[in-house]
Amino acid sequence: MNDTHESLDGLRFDNSYLRELPADPDPDNCRRQVFGACHSRVEPEPVPDPQLVAASGEVMELLGLAPSAVEDPRFSQVFGGNTLLDGMEPYASCYGGHQFGNWAGQLGDGRAISLGEALGKGGLRWELQLKGAGPTPYSRRADGRAVLRSSIREFLCSEAMHHLGVPTTRALSLVTTGQGIWRDMLYDGNPAEEPGAVVCRVAPSFIRFGNFQIFASRKESEPLRALADHTLRRHFPGLGQPGPAAYVAMFEEVCQRTALMIAHWMRVGFVHGVMNTDNMSILGLTIDFGPYGWLDNFDPDWTPNTTDARNRRYRFGFQPRIAHWNLTRLAEAFVDLVGDVGALEKALDGYVTAINKHHWDMTMAKLGLTGTKRDPGDEALAEDMIALMVAQETDMTLFYRGLAEVDTHGEPDLSDEDLTAPLVDALYDPNVLALGHREALAGWLRRYAQRTRSEGLPQGQRRQQMNAVNPLYVMRNYLAQLAIDKSEQGDHSMVRELLDVMRNPYTHQPGRHQYAKKRPDWARARPGCSMLSCSS
């Protein structure tokens, strides 16, 4: 049976979220509190001139769409929010959340409208969601729209994360709207009109921790149980029939998936920037790409979020702890479902065990130490490496790629200068090596070389293993900003090229060396390249 469709008309929808969960009885699309309902029916607001910028071929394949489907003139109309296909039943979801550690009450899909659940290849179910498609009952004082710069960042990063091997939501398309949007990017009283855009996000589900929290906070037990039962049956079908034991098992699985996701963030140097509980997926997927960033110079205390600049709650090195804190808030929402606090606490302990194991295993893999043998000095080796990267302002991505090139077998015969040469390009100021740092770095490399030789791997095999887990190309903020600058002038070519580059982040791509360079000096303090606001 051929499940690839040349036309958009081949998409089929089975909207179980709407069918199985309580709906908002009020059809009025006005900003308000919504009680006792998981979703509100609302249609996207049409835009003047939707134009397709780019589409992900891999996501089209997931949906069973042939590449030629983008040539359908309805493609930009549908995924820009102007037209609905048969079977689409648009809605916005109700949820709450803790924002920066404080309970914020009802939040909900304020600028995201789900079109329905498409049945893709192999019968897999994919929720299609338009971000920036207009106001919903959850928009509060906002307009429900998104600007081009934030949409480019979300579109590119969603796909880049997938190809890096990080659990993530996906992005099907990026469409400009032909509509100007007013935004104060830095919240400094200087709003400006910017081009608008819509991203079509794709995931098995966009259910968040906050979907459960809102009902628990309001003591609305019936919709809470209905949501738990739907989530269990639809997304965790192997855990048994709904009931306390199955709810505990589901929470345990959420903890385990979250641990794996966070460990992958740490592996590739990703900083989410706004780990509020409403931005945490129940499926352990990276969700809501706002003020994110990649570590350029390695700094465990760095956050890309201007809102978080003072307290640095969501800094890189704190992400594993924040995920535990968020899971604890989810556990509180599960208490009435489960009744056994001890079982939930045990699952939280399981998260700690899992994140520690994943993070350690990935750290060792990044160093090329993948054998079963563990050395008592491995922990000190890793800690000293981190201290060196911080002290010498080192690009994390390029450091690990350079480390794979170090001649660990010829180390005894190499001078300090020759031994450290593969890592010079990772330093933001190579002159620091002349200030005594070369000796410290070379000393660490000699310890590292001795340790790698104990693994017994040939140099080429070690390099190959390291390069398989240490990316060469990551979606650096300054690269996204360069693409944004061009797109805002009507040239979308760099968006499309970055999408293509990020499809193969671990493999050297001839002619694309410029996409593997560390952050240039001009980007060190430029908005969009170093720090971003929640509207970025």
Compare 466 and 6 and report the one with higher pLDDT.
466
Residue 535 has pLDDT above 60, yes or no: no
Same domain, yes or no, for 117 and 18?
yes
Residue 207: C-alpha distances to residues 52, 157, 232, 528 (Å) = 27, 20, 12, 29
Is 464 found in the same domain as 443? yes
Residues 388 and 420 in one domain: yes
Would you say 79 and 130 are in contact if contact means Cβ atoms under 8 Å apart? yes
- Together in a domain, 120 and 244: no
Cα gap 452→443, rounded to integer Å: 14
Percent of the chain topping pLDDT 70: 98
Phi-psi category of 284—alpha, beta or left, where left has phi over 0 and alpha has psi -120 to 50? left
Q: How many residues does the chain have?
A: 536
Same domain? 376 vs 332: no
* Residue 215 resides in a domain: no
Confidence band, pLDDT 50/70/90 cuts, at residue 526: confident
What is the residue-wise DSSP string for 350-388?
Answer: HHHHHHHHHHHHHHHHHTT--SS---TTHHHHHHHHHHH
CA atoms lying within 13 Å on the CB side of residue 160 = 30
Residues 6+ apart with CB under 8 A from 168: 158, 161, 162, 285, 286, 287
Residues 416 and 503 in one domain: yes
Confidence category of residue 2, pLDDT binned at 50, 70, 90: low
Domain stop point among 366, 386, 414: 366
129 inside domain: yes
pTM higher than 0.95, yes or no?
A: yes
Q: What is the mean pLDDT of the chain?
A: 95
Are 319 and 275 within 8 A, CB to CB? yes
412/530 same-domain check: yes
Q: Would you place residue 394 in the very low, low, confident or very high pLDDT band (cuts 50, 70, 90)?
A: very high
527 contacts: CB under 8 Å, gap ≥ 6: 185, 186
- Whether residues 126 and 31 fall in one domain: yes
Q: Identify the domain boundary among 342, 366, 390.
A: 366
Enumerate the β-bridge partners of residue 118.
13, 126
Using pLDDT thresholds of 50, 70 and 90, give the confidence band for residue 530: confident
Q: What is the span of the domain harbouring residue 116?
A: 8-206
Please give the Cα distance from 296 to 525 (Å, whole number).
12
Helix, strand or coil, per DSSP, at residue 394:
strand
For 12-41, b where at least 16 C-beta lie within 10 A, e where not — what string? bbebbbbeebbbbeeeebeeeebeebbbbb
| Mean pLDDT value across residues 147-167 | 97
Domain termination site, one of 206, 230, 247 = 206
241 and 342 within one domain: yes
Strands 39-41 and 91-93: antiparallel
Q: What is the pLDDT of residues 304-318, one digit of tens each?
A: 998 998 999 999 999
Reported as half-sphere exposure (CB side, CA atoms, 13 A), residue 105 has a value of 6
Distance CA(253)–CA(236), nearest Å, equals: 9
pLDDT at 379 over 80: yes
Residues 6+ apart with CB under 8 A from 282: 205, 207, 208, 209, 211, 212, 231, 235, 254
- For residue 191, tell me if it sits in a domain: yes
Count of the separate structural domains present in the chain: 3
410 with 291, same domain: the answer is: no
DSSP, residue by residue, 410-474: SGGGS-HHHHHGGGGGGBS-GGGGGGTHHHHHHHHHHHHHHHHHTTT--HHHHHHHHHTTS-S--
Q: How many other CB atoms sit within 10 Å of the CB of residue 267?
A: 22
Domain-embedded: residue 515: yes
Pair 166, 304 in one domain = no
Judge whether 24 lies within some domain.
Answer: yes
**Which pLDDT belongs to residue 185?**
75
Question: Which residues are annotated as catalytic?
Answer: 278
236, 327: one domain:
yes
Phi, psi torsion values for 337, nearest 5 degrees: -75, -35
pLDDT tens digits along 14-55 = 999 999 999 999 999 999 999 999 999 999 999 999 999 999
| CB atoms closer than 10 angstroms to residue 383 | 10
Alpha-carbon gap, residue 412 to 447, rounded angstroms: 11
Whether pLDDT at 1 is above 50: no
Contact 5, 69 (CB under 8 A): yes
Question: Is 48 part of a structural domain of the chain?
Answer: yes
Residue 1 lies in a domain: no
In DSSP terms, 129 is beta-bridged to 114, 201
> Which has the closest alpha carbon to 163: 501, 402, 518?
501
